[in-house]
Amino acid sequence: MHNGWLKTEYLPPDSRQKTKHTFYICQKKLELYFILVEPAVPGNVGSVARALKNMGFENLRLVNPCSHLAPEALMMAHGAHDILQNASVFHHFSEAVSDLDFLIGTTAKKRRVKYNYHPPEALPEILLSKKSLLQKVGIVFGREEHGLHNEELEKCDILTSIPMAVTYPSLNLAQSVMIYAWELALLHTVGSRKQSNAHASGAVMKILKERVHLLLTEVGIGPDSILYPRIMERLMLLSEEDVHLVLSFLKAYFASK
């Protein structure tokens, strides 16, 4: 064990070679990061901090924000000043999400960026189905006026939307965060997740995307095709067992070439 990582050697059961592969398994619980992109109102940021504190979350990231330590923000963050003071601030969206294994984008309106839009209550099951494959997950909230840009939504692995009864849905930023934090608080009750095998690290999902990208590109399905984003989107809904199954197939495919 070193810095929370367990060194493990693994020999695939169907492998004809006797070479063991070394993997490092993270023993830590899933970390969930709430990311606000260019929030413009200090009071909203403060209210978000209070919502996170009430639901047991502490990781807040801000992209090019307003003054998140302004008196208005501190007033609205009653009892949650530590969330504001410890928030990580980034200049660009890409910097704020570069170290995450899985990214969830929120949107009030369904756009053509993705095909599937998951309600908040579906997110815990999606994340738990990955079991030990994920270590750092981010959920992104857009600007108060017009949300996330399409380019930012495209970088998300899945999208989620809160169903509402009005034609033109509109929720305050802090209200939206509170709804998602309430649903995702279920993850606190799961406890420590079992490490099912030696592939169990947050890097697995990134490896999966990279290898599927290589395969699709090889058969002529590039990022600009209509089929490519659809395949990558559905890929992110696979359970841990299915992820390993696909990785085994990809390993055999590329080894045969």
Residue extents of the structural domains in the chain: 5-27+202-255, 31-189
d(CA 23, CA 33): 25
pTM for the structure as a whole: 0.77
Place of tokens 């504001």: 84
Give me the pLDDT at residue 169, please.
64
Spans in the chain with pLDDT lower than 50: 1-27, 191-200
pLDDT, tens digit, for every residue of 184-216?
Answer: 998 876 544 444 443 345 678 888 999 999 999
Cα–Cα distance measured from residue 127 to residue 133, given in angstroms and rounded to the nearest whole number: 9
User: What per-residue confidence (pLDDT) applies to 22?
Assistant: 43
Amino acid 161: pLDDT: 92
pLDDT digits (tens, 9 = 90+) for 14-56: 444 444 444 334 445 789 999 999 999 999 999 999 999 999 9
Share of the chain above pLDDT 90, in %: 58
- Tokens 């965060």 appear where? 177
| Radius of gyration of the CA atoms of the chain, in A | 20
Q: What is the dihedral of CA 158, 164, 165, 168, to 10 degrees?
A: -80
CATH number of 31-189: 3.40.1280.10
Question: What is residue 109's predicted lDDT score, i.e. its pLDDT?
Answer: 78
What is the per-residue pLDDT for 21?
Answer: 42
So what's the pLDDT on residue 196? 44
CA-to-CA distance for 133 and 201, rounded, in angstroms?
5
Give residue 190's pLDDT. Answer: 58
